[in-house]
Amino acid sequence: MAENRGVARRRVLQLMAAGVAGGGGMTLGVGRALAAAGVTTLGDGRIALGVADDLRTQVQWVRDGKLVPLTAFSASETLLLKGRPSPALRVTDQSSTPLRTEGMGAGTRHTVVARSAEGIEQTLEVSFYERHPGFALLRVRFRNDTAAPLKVAGWTVADHVLPGRPARQPAFWSFAGASHEDRRDWVQPVGPGFAQRNFLGMNASDYGGGTPVADVWRRDAGLAVGHVERHPALVSLPVTAVANGVRLAVASDQELTLAPGASLETPTCFLHAHTGDYFASLEGYRQLMADQGLSAPAAPESAFGPIWCAWGYERNFTVAEVEGTLGKARDMGFEWAVLDDGWQTSEGDWYVDRGKFPRGEADIVSFAEHIKAAGMKPRLWLSPLAVNPGTDLLHDHTDMLLLDKNGAVQNISWWNAFYLCPAYQPTIDYYEKLVTRILGEWGYAGLKLDGQHLNGVAPCYNPAHRHARPEESVEGLEAFWETIYRTAMRINPEAVIELCPCGTSFAFHNIAAMNQTPASDPESSWQVRHKGKTLKALLGQGGSFAGDHVELSEHGRDFASTVGIGGVVSTKFTWPADTPHPTAPQPPGGYRLTPEKEAVWRHWVALYKDKMLPKGRYLGRLYDIGFDRPEAHAIEREGRLYYAFYAANWNGAIELRGLAGGRYRVRNYVDGVDLGEVTASEPLLRVAFEHYLLLEALPA
């Protein structure tokens, strides 16, 4: 075998030498390995990894038909040792084998082995799949072949710097899928001093989880890293501005001791080089995960109905207030009525509050029937995995609690509650019965599953659960949600299961357990739009993304940011008056639906239902959300193209990208104004607008 590898390596050297002599650039197909001057190049025709004899690597990609460097060589895959430098390595072996994986299909796996002088072995596996061009999948194994234990401080994979010079006017933009307690933007400019650890575990007592992708891009090039494990992994995706560019990686800082002869394996990670913004990376990640059996379910027709939520009346709502608003909401075109937080006595017991519903369950059933009689569908709010102190559930089932290594509970701040463990069967059984009661016995047509704690959980050390590893709670969260979803679908295949992880960056591993996700407490219209672009990449065509309550957008009425990007419209207006005793600060004028607001709301709901853009194909690669000005989005539906442009003020040219052959007539469909005609070769229009411009391009 060693002799065959040597022959293969000599042939590779000859191939590379011929390529250099022929013009200095070469395009690789899947399975090709080229080497020269101590560098082996592994690639698939879109992306390549140059591997030096000391195991430093360089990301390369194909531009203008040639393979060119995107990064410098760096020690990208590294074992971090405690109190001493990482081992100096030399490559000792390299091989390539055909690969066929269930779901992923055919490809090639390249294996590079390196050793240090003292006997630390590092094996780098680089896999390329024909179904996923442009993605290099990396897995690393570190083995301690020394005679002494190794104290490990962590590791890195795909640690590279996208070159450039961070500046006050951003030369880079970034996407990071980790959750943060301050509910920061998911898409941000990268300037001097920018640094985010992007840990995918808990970043606060009740904020954690996320989508395991980080992406950094310039105007001309971008680089994404992440992992493609079927379950969540407690790793970080740090993004850091450095003097010569922006550094990103997959990293772990978990300390451990590696015994002689023992090995440590990293998750399967990826590298992706691209043009444009982060949409291509997330779309490719979604397709990789779909091949492993994890994807969003199809959204039912009901998931596209406009939503009215009773949260404008807050927790202290009265039944009369809510029921008195139903007729107005239905008359304005809203199809869902959501009863939010406050129907229950507590988080955990989920008893019906007899102060509001004197007959208990009989009245909550009657309330659902009242919504149906008003011509709407009832949805009920629920916050699973939270239990309040003083509840019967906590008194009778302390065994359900998620405990840390010191035996302490894990706090959920908003409701002054504690976490239950999602990987403990009695917890799963309890919520399966509760969902059966709400949908099957009480007659609700959907659930609003709500709370920042839904996105991720901490490792569980409760001895009653007999976990093989504390991380079983982290990895078991998706199965908990899938149980709820399967239960709901068994009762009502048309039920809408909305997962709203309040302000956190959506955890992709929960995606199979919901058929609608909102912008989840957006703090700006910008958040509505970039969360929409993110979730459209992750959900795929036909997914249901809701813009959340329009009252949370700029000026409390920015329907354009939801409608223009293909989101479901939602509101929490009150009528005919606001709640008399609000517990949270209200905007000027409150949430009351005035006659002036009613005209605006009616107009936008009618536009939404007429265009129904959530059912179109979101063309996320046409515009760069970071660098293109004005900000732009495009959707194709039934042969027409819809464009949404956003800026505080704009007076100048806009470009309508993605046009096919022939002429298109362009119309401002909000105001009904014709703007002329364009073609693919002449796609520019000169326009002036404030805040937004929504256009429809029809084949002339």
Among 24, 29, 54, CA closest to 40:
54
Among 408, 411, 407, CA closest to 388:
411
Q: In the chain, what are the helix, strand and coil shares in percent, each to the nearest 5?
A: 25, 35, 40
With a cut of 50, say whether residue 22 has pLDDT above it: no
Quickly name the fold that domain 301-384+424-457+469-616 has: TIM Barrel (3.20.20)
Give 593's contacts (C-beta < 8 A, 6+ positions apart): 328, 573, 574, 575, 576, 601
Task: Give the pLDDT mean for 509-537.
Answer: 97
With a cut of 70, say whether residue 18 has pLDDT above it: no
CB 586 within 8 A of CB 598: no
Q: Looking at residue 5, what is its pLDDT?
A: 36
With a cut of 70, say whether residue 15 has pLDDT above it: no
Q: Measuring CA to CA, how many Å separate 552 from each of 315, 447, 520, 526?
A: 18, 21, 10, 11
Amino acid at 605: V
Sorted by where each begins, the domain ranges of the chain are 2-290, 301-384+424-457+469-616, 631-699
With a cut of 90, say whether residue 691 has pLDDT above it: yes
Enumerate the H helices of 439-541 as residue ranges: 472-491, 525-539
Task: Give the pLDDT mean for 264-276.
Answer: 98
Q: Looking at residue 330, what is its pLDDT?
A: 98
With a cut of 70, say whether residue 460 has pLDDT above it: yes
Task: State pTM to two decimals.
Answer: 0.94
Enumerate the H helices of 424-465 as residue ranges: 425-435
- Both tokens assigned to 239: 């993004």
Among 485, 458, 459, CA closest to 470:
459
Among 634, 460, 602, 463, CA closest to 533:
634
Q: What percent of the chain stands above pLDDT 90?
A: 91
Rounded to a whole number of angstroms, the distance between the first and last alpha carbons of the chain is 66
Domain 2-290 has CATH 3.40.50.150: no
Q: Measuring CA to CA, how many Å separate 612 from each of 469, 577, 605, 637, 638?
A: 47, 31, 10, 9, 11
Task: Give the pLDDT mean for 289-302.
Answer: 97
Among 502, 585, 526, 527, CA closest to 181:
502
Q: Looking at residue 224, what is its pLDDT?
A: 98
CATH number, domain 631-699: 2.60.40.1180
